[in-house]
């Protein structure tokens, strides 16, 4: 901005809070950017990020597939909750996993690695498996290695209620066989990791904040920026303060480790909406402040036993997928509920300003599951959404329909390239491809 000195594009306000060092990162401000708001003052483009948003147990295919193709598509019942974000969505249908057909296991490893599963051993009437290769989020993390404070961030929403069938069933992000990057299920722990200050239950967060530790720096900064940047800073700091107050006042709604017996549920019920909102806002802050360019959100695990009580479920979703008679109304309602939570997450990113747009403009997020539907365990008609505009690399508002059962790896490679991760190909063996889905990419 004219009359104001440019400042570093990655600025941390540092201080002491509750006796511990803390650091508050700042979002991209006009003062850091070039004249058109599309790049930093030194000419480097604003960051693009790759993410995965995953849910378990598939969908009801007949109620998932939209009508129409290209930009002339209409959302199905299960995609309807995402309608507000239509311009940011690339829907892919008709593709299939090419790397195996073992229930849950092959679909999970196939979509996340483009490779067959790595069998560790047998268990009961099934197998124990792990990922044979690094997961796609870690390929993106490798690409962006060294550019951000955190190589990648892994978040979990609903508790793990799965089985003893290996890391494939418990974790999303992997570095290789039996080497997962466990998701962080505690919002408080994620807060501490991002801000470097231990969450202290003895502090009254209604009256004080980590921001108080850097208040002098905040005041100085706000005196030296323009009106739009002051507004952006006020929104950013208000988000931090609101999250602190939520974490302090609603521990049952916002935190909980992955072990079910330790979960602070309310009357035995997971507070999924509140947990999803808090974790989404924390991740939104991290992305806006360029703290990472690779992330994964494990809404529910492969074969998830989550009980979606909000839609009337009284048993685990995995079991209902097996037991409920077609057309499986509870499974359908649980899928709609899940897409509502995805819509909430995308809304947080879309409502976070950045440069001449918002954070979702500069994301490419692979949203998917481990099979088509939990009743048949099919790997055909695989449900895939790529959310975001990828900094202009993705067209958005598209439905791509494959009529030749193309590999899901093509959609994954499209999402990677949409985030600026220009790999030559993705996958291994029958799951390998060098081709992305050009119809979803900007010319």
pLDDT tens digits for range 13-36: 788 776 677 778 778 777 677 776
Q: Which residues contact 187 (CB under 8 A, 6 or more apart)?
A: 243, 247, 254, 255, 275, 278, 279, 282
Report the percentage of the chain scoring pLDDT > 70. Answer: 89
What burial class does residue 441 get, using C-beta atoms within 10 Å of its C-beta: 0-12 exposed, 13-18 middle, 19+ buried? Answer: middle
Angle between helices 227-249 and 187-195 (to 10 degrees): 140
Task: Check residues 395 and 216 and name the one with the higher pLDDT.
Answer: 395
270, 282, 381, 253: which is closest to 334 by C-alpha? 270
199, 151, 148, 146: which is closest to 22 by C-alpha? 199
Cα–chain center distance at 241: 23
Any idea which residue has 């209902």 for tokens? Answer: 320
Q: Which residues contact 396 (CB under 8 A, 6 or more apart)?
A: 87, 88, 89, 90, 388, 389
Q: How far apart are CA 136 and CA 413, in angstroms?
A: 9
Q: Quick check: 297 pLDDT over 80?
A: yes
- State whether residue 289 is helix, strand or coil: coil
Q: How far apart are CA 117 and CA 78, in angstroms?
A: 29
Q: How far apart are CA 42 and CA 8, in angstroms?
A: 10
Q: Quick check: 115 pLDDT over 70?
A: yes
Q: In the chain, helix, strand, coil percent, each to 5?
A: 35, 20, 45
Query: What does 61-96 look like in DSSP terms, one character per residue?
Result: GGGTSPBS-BT--B--TTTGGGGGGGGGEEEEES-B
Q: Confirm if 45 and 38 have CB atoms less than 8 A apart.
A: yes
Any idea which residue has 């401000």 for tokens? Answer: 29
- State whether residue 53 is helix, strand or coil: strand
- State whether residue 30 is helix, strand or coil: helix
> Which tokens belong to 135?
């997961």
Q: How far apart are CA 112 and CA 99, in angstroms?
A: 11
Q: Quick check: 77 pLDDT over 50?
A: yes
**Which pLDDT belongs to residue 298?**
98
**Which pLDDT belongs to residue 255?**
30
pLDDT bucket at 250, cuts 50 / 70 / 90: very low
**Which pLDDT belongs to residue 223?**
85
Task: Give per-residue burial for 231-268: e unless 16+ CB within 10 Å, then b.
Answer: ebbeebbebbbebbebbbebebbbbbbbeeeebeeeee
Report the top-level CATH class of 49-185+261-440: alpha beta
**Which pLDDT belongs to residue 256?**
29
Q: Confirm if 356 and 37 have CB atoms less than 8 A apart.
A: yes
Domain boundaries, the chain: 1-46+197-255, 49-185+261-440
pLDDT bucket at 431, cuts 50 / 70 / 90: very high
Q: Quick check: 60 pLDDT over 60?
A: yes
> Which tokens belong to 3?
């009359």
Q: Confirm if 6 and 41 have CB atoms less than 8 A apart.
A: yes
Cα–chain center distance at 25: 20
Task: Check residues 354 and 71 and name the one with the higher pLDDT.
Answer: 71
If you count them, how many residues does the chain have?
443
């Amino acid at each position: 901005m004219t009359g104001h000195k440019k400042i570093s594009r990655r600025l941390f306000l540092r201080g002491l809070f509750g006796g511990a060092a803390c650091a508050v990162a700042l979002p991209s401000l006009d003062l850091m950017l070039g004249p058109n708001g599309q790049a930093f003052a030194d000419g480097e483009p604003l960051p693009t990020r790759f993410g995965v948003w995953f849910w378990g147990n598939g969908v009801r295919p007949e109620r998932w597939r939209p009508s129409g193709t290209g930009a002339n598509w209409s959302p199905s019942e299960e995609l309807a909750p995402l309608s507000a974000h239509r311009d940011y969505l690339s829907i892919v249908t008709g593709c299939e996993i090419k790397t195996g057909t073992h229930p849950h296991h092959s679909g999970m490893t196939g979509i996340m690695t483009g490779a067959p599963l790595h069998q560790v051993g047998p268990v009961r009437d099934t197998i124990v498996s792990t990922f044979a290769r690094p997961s796609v989020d870690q390929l993106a993390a490798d690409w962006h290695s060294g550019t951000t404070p955190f190589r990648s961030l892994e978040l979990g929403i609903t508790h793990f209620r799965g089985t003893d069938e290996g890391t494939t069933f418990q974790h999303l992000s992997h570095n290789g066989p039996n080497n997962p990057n466990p998701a962080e299920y505690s919002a408080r722990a994620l807060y501490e990791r991002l801000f470097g200050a231990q969450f202290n239950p003895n502090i009254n967060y209604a009256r004080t904040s980590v921001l108080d530790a850097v208040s002098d720096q905040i005041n100085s900064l706000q005196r030296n920026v323009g009106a739009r940047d002051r507004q952006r800073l006020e929104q950013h700091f208000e988000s931090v303060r609101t999250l602190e107050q939520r974490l302090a006042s609603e521990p049952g709604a916002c935190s909980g480790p992955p072990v079910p017996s330790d979960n602070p549920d309310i009357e035995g019920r997971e507070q999924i909406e509140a947990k999803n909102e808090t974790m989404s806002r924390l991740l939104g802050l991290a992305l806006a402040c360029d703290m990472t360019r690779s992330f994964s959100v494990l809404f529910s695990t492969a074969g998830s036993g989550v009980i979606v009580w909000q839609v009337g479920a009284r048993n685990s979703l995995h079991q209902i997928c097996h037991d409920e008679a077609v057309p499986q109304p509870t499974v359908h309602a649980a899928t709609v509920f899940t897409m509502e939570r995805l819509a909430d997450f995308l809304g947080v990113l879309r409502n976070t300003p950045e440069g001449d747009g918002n954070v979702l403009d500069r994301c490419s997020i692979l949203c998917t599951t481990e099979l088509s539907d939990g009743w048949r365990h099919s790997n055909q008609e695989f449900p895939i959404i790529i959310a975001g505009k990828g900094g202009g690399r993705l067209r958005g508002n598209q439905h791509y329909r494959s009529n030749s059962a193309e590999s899901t790896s093509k959609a994954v490679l499209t999402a990677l390239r949409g985030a600026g991760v220009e790999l030559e190909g993705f996958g291994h063996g029958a799951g390998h491809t060098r081709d992305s889905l050009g119809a979803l990419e900007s010319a």
